[in-house]
Amino acid sequence: MSAENFADCCNPGGVWEGTPTGEEHDFAGLTSYIAKPPTGGNGKAIVLITDIHSYKFKNLQLLADKLASNGFLVIAPDFFHGDQFPMDFNAEGVQAWFGRNGLPNDRTKAELKAVISHLREAHDIKHVGCQGFCWGGWWAVWLAGQQQDPQVDAAVVAHGSKMTPELLGEVRKPALFLQPEHDQQMNPELLEHVNKAAKQAPGSDVVHFPAQHHGFTVRPDPSHEGVDEASEKALKLTIAFFKEHLR
């Protein structure tokens, strides 16, 4: 992908109003944003795998809080170890960042396993889901294909990046793909493989969002018509999906 196209893919977009209510703590050796459900533990958790801006971007924290308010323990680890991409966007810098935080990489695989194992073993979590955005979307697809640890029970993929037919062909767990119409990380051939992945994994679905752009679920650009309604719809679908499959 050219540096110019990265500008549309990874530009931070708008910032939501509101004050995050979660807390930052160490979790399985990773600094993480943690949002807890209002009624205490119910054995259900969601791991958020962020885009390149990490959980330090306020929108991600607010989204984690909304998920938690629906009864889930939500963990958003810093898989970048403080090397999140800065909010003052630079296209060439994105390419260099991906050079340091490639897809896939063994470090993130091991850390995902540690986070999910810690949830199940130390926090008595019976059902684990994940939601990935952009960079994190690749990992959500990967987790949806794992038959051995680390395992999740369901995955939500929000405008995933650098997905391949081979990766999508491994999906076996319920997966919800939130796919905008305008996405530099998607093409018609790859979209066919997304649709095939949803058909081969029971409980999966692909929801298309006409006129929306890459990043709309967590980095909505206010200049795009209907983006607020689309991001709210995506959140409602995500909550309903996890309520259905994390039980």
Residue 203 CB neighbour total at 10 angstroms: 14
* C-beta of residue 20 within 8 angstroms of C-beta of residue 110: no
Digitized pLDDT (tens) for each residue of the chain, 247 residues in all: 444 455 556 666 789 999 999 999 999 999 999 999 998 778 999 999 999 999 999 999 999 999 999 999 999 999 999 999 887 767 778 888 888 998 999 999 999 999 999 999 999 999 999 999 999 999 999 999 998 888 999 999 999 999 999 999 999 999 999 999 999 999 999 999 999 999 999 999 999 999 999 999 999 999 999 999 999 999 999 999 999 999 9
Find where tokens 């795009």 sit. Answer: 224
